Amino acid sequence: MAVVSTILIIAFSIWLGLYTGHKRYIVVPDLIGKLLQNVKENDEFSDFQFIVVDSVYESGMTPGTIINQEPAKNSNVKHNRKIYLTIISSMPDMVKMPDLKFLTLRQATSMLESYGLKLGTISYTRSFDEDAVQAQYFEGKPVKPEAKLYKGSIIDLVVGLGSRGTQNSADTLGGDDADDESDTLVDEL
């Protein structure tokens, strides 16, 4: 009985090894920098299944370019293994515009960065709130909080001068014309 059991265990182990392809591996190629469409059409990569798990927008990069893969290149995997990919998307993600009004310039800058937006020009206006945001603009027009914008959009800010907003500060703003412009900006808001 012991001999039959041993033979059955050995036979089962051999069969299981053959069935699962034990010790038969293929090497994962380096896909980073290649276009997903080209990879899928190439017979060289037919031993793998490709699944896109994420996409990110990067200006200046070709949409569909693979920027990350899992498992990593040169890993040993079995035939028909799934490779999870991150690619460049053709459109940036949408984000909601935060409410920057009355935040300090430093806080507003940090918040813009955390939302994936970029700080554009900073204009100053007379206001008792020194370095506090008085208005936020996108493409020259006021933008309301919660408005949907593309990630990477440039936001211009109007910031209060505080005690610096006296007549003596006209020289730092560029003369009388700068005072007129800041008054106009305040009136538009």
Tell me how far apart the alpha carbons of residues 17 and 186 are, in angstroms, rounded to a whole number.
78
* Under-70 pLDDT residues of the chain: 20-23, 165-189
Domains of the chain: 24-88 (3.30.10.20), 94-188 (3.30.10.20)
**Per-residue pLDDT at 181:** 44
**Per-residue pLDDT at 93:** 84
pTM of the model: 0.53
Tell me how far apart the alpha carbons of residues 184 and 179 are, in angstroms, rounded to a whole number.
9
**Per-residue pLDDT at 66:** 94
Cβ contact 93:128 at 8 Å:
no
Dihedral (Cα; 146, 152, 154, 159), 10-degree rounding: 60
Largest CA distance in the chain: 107
**Per-residue pLDDT at 180:** 44
**Per-residue pLDDT at 91:** 84
Can you spell out the DSSP letters for the chain?
A: -HHHHHHHHHHHHHHHHHHHTTT--EEPP--TTSBHHHHHH-GGGTTEEEEEEEEE--TTS-TTBEEEEESPTT-EE-TTEEEEEEEE-SSPPEEEPP--TTSBHHHHHHHHHHHT-EEEEEEEE--SSTTBEEEEEETTEE--TT-EEETT-EEEEEEE-GGG-SGGGHHHHTSHHHHHHHHHHHHH-
Cβ contact 124:130 at 8 Å:
no
